[in-house]
Amino acid sequence: MLHDRAKIEVRAGRGGDGIVSFRREAHVPKGGPDGGDGGRGGNVIVRVDDSLRDLQAFRRRVHFRAERGGHGEGAQRHGAEGDPLVIGVPPGTQIERWDGTRYDLVAPGQEVTIARGGAGGRGNKRFTSAVRQAPRLSERGLEGEEGVVELHLKLLADVGLVGLPNAGKSSLIARLTRAQPKIAGYPFTTLEPNLGTLEAADRQLVIADIPGLIEGASGGAGLGHDFLAHVERTRLLVHVLDLAPLDGSDPLENHAVIDRELAEHDPRLAELPRILALSKADLVEPEVAAAAAEAWRARLAEDVAVLVTSSATREGLDELAVELLRRVPVLAPAPVEAGVDELAEYRVYRPAAAKEFDVERRGPGDFLVSGDVVDRLIARHDLENEEAQAHVERRLHRLGVIAALEAAGFTPGDDVEIGGVVFELDPGAPL
Ligand SMILES: Nc1nc2c(ncn2[C@@H]2O[C@H](COP(=O)(O)OP(=O)(O)OP(=O)(O)O)[C@@H](O)[C@H]2O)c(=O)[nH]1
Ligand SMILES: [Mg+2]
């Protein structure tokens, strides 16, 4: 089975903490503040790796965490940035973030930052001002973004097997890959495409076995249109043609039917590189098979490879595998209609709106303030530390939070909850 869906959990690194530190020198009893800042936490990045063909790796690993930022140190040393964590996905992977943002990753090397590392906290050196020469105050690092990310592989296959019903397509994919499709001696055994992976030393090719096509398929006859759509994005077609059909039909006419249907569905399909696999060779005399192959080589364009194969005896199957690997370009991304940039949808970070918080009165003497900016302010500071508390209060004043609280009926000493922390706010009270 092809693994075309996965769900993973990602967490970007937490920012390192800033620290409180004072210079120590032999002759100076108390030096100035020199606490360094914490480093930013590492991002989690998803990047297209063209050597991958499915999402199988995510069955073994579902948690992805980037490194946290280093803490600041004395002597104004800043903490190191956390290393980013890069997650490789195959071309054609669509990603949906926990907040609903979607990205289409198509071209090799294309990448997107799926979770941002938290900012580092500032050390006490940065809180020095004219009136505050020895701040005992530093910030904590912020948490990195985290959440569940869904991956969905949209690209169907590198190689499409096409042919009339009963030609032996499913038997071929069952021999070339680990796919185990239903195989039977009647037409339309295959109702849904089967995907299989051909494993080579350095890469994988995804092969699709498409339900049999019949006259009029491009117009919707038989299983028609739906399945032709599945070969649109392949890079190579293998036409599987029965050497001696049981129904006595003429292979020449059968070949023409498939050619016509492909071209009528989409002229680009007619342009795709082609291999002709003459099937069920074990059912005819070797000379007959060889002569048929010669005749087809003479008939078809020079760049069409003609192979005599049998799924029963494995004749010609190694050659077919070699030919597939040789003809599917290694690095070229799958042909896509629109430019990569049109397909890829990037998240746009907008500056915060003018109003950065909301104030709600939940009851007498009980208020809730919410909003990203105020939440971050609280997360950054240790409210047990009086200096930090005074700093937070000043910031709340400046942001207009205190004024908004007062407008909502707040009086000093009332309880206020911000960022999950409830505290008694007494702005202006001497510390
Ligand atoms: N002797 C012999 N029989 C084969 C070979 N390949 C397939 N067959 C038989 O041909 C019949 C059809 O094979 P499938 O692989 O199901 O054919 P298909 O092209 O997938 O058919 P649909 O799914 O109906 O389009 C089955 O009875 C197979 O056993 C072969 O190499 N030699
Ligand atoms: Mg089949």
Provide the 10 A C-beta neighbour count for residue 338: 10
Q: Are 15 and 6 in contact (CB under 8 A)?
A: no
Residue located nearest, by CA, to atom 30 of ligand 1: 280
Rg (CA), the chain: 33
Ligand with smallest separation from the Cα of 165: 1
Residue 322 — left, alpha, or beta (φ > 0 → left; ψ -120 to 50 → alpha)? alpha
Which of 417, 409, 413, 408 minimizes the C-alpha distance to 428? 413
Going by alpha carbons, the residue nearest to atom 14 of ligand 1 is 168
219 alpha carbon – ligand 2 mean position (Å):
21
Q: How far apart are CA 72 and CA 76, in angstroms?
A: 8
- Matching residue, tokens 């907040």: 99
Query: How many angstroms separate the alpha carbon of residue 127 from the centre of ligand 2?
Result: 72
Identify the CA nearest to 23 among candidates 34, 12, 11: 34
180, 226, 344, 348, 425 from 274: Cα distances, Å: 24, 21, 30, 42, 76
Residue 8 C-alpha to ligand 2 middle, in angstroms?
A: 34
What residues pack around ion ligand 2 (CB closer than 5 A)?
170, 189-190
Quickly tell me which residue has 């911000």 as its tokens. Answer: 418
**Ligand 2 mean position, distance from CA 94 (Å):** 29
Within 6 A (CB) of ligand 1 lie 163, 165-171, 183-185, 187-190, 211-212, 279-280, 282-283, 310-312
Is pTM beyond 0.95 here? no
Q: DSSP secondary-structure letter at 127?
A: G
Contact, 237 vs 269, CB < 8 A? yes
Helix (H, G, I), strand (E, B) or coil at 418: strand
Q: Which of the residue ranges 113-117, 171-175, 411-415 would you say has the lowest mean pLDDT?
A: 411-415
- Nearest ligand 1 atom, CA 182: 16
Q: Which atom of ligand 1 is nearest to the CA of 283?
A: 1
* Interstrand relation of 274-279 and 305-308 (parallel, antiparallel or unpaired): parallel
Neighbouring C-beta atoms of residue 248, cutoff 10 Å: 6
319-334 per-position pLDDT tens digit: 999 999 998 876 444 4
Q: What are residue 359's phi and psi, to 5 degrees?
A: -115, 135
Give the model confidence (pLDDT) of 224-274 as tens digits: 566 676 677 788 999 999 998 988 999 999 999 999 988 888 888 888 889
The predicted pLDDT at position 84 comes to 96
* pLDDT one-digit tens code per residue, 359-378: 999 988 899 999 988 998 99
Residue nearest to atom 32 of ligand 1 (CA): 280
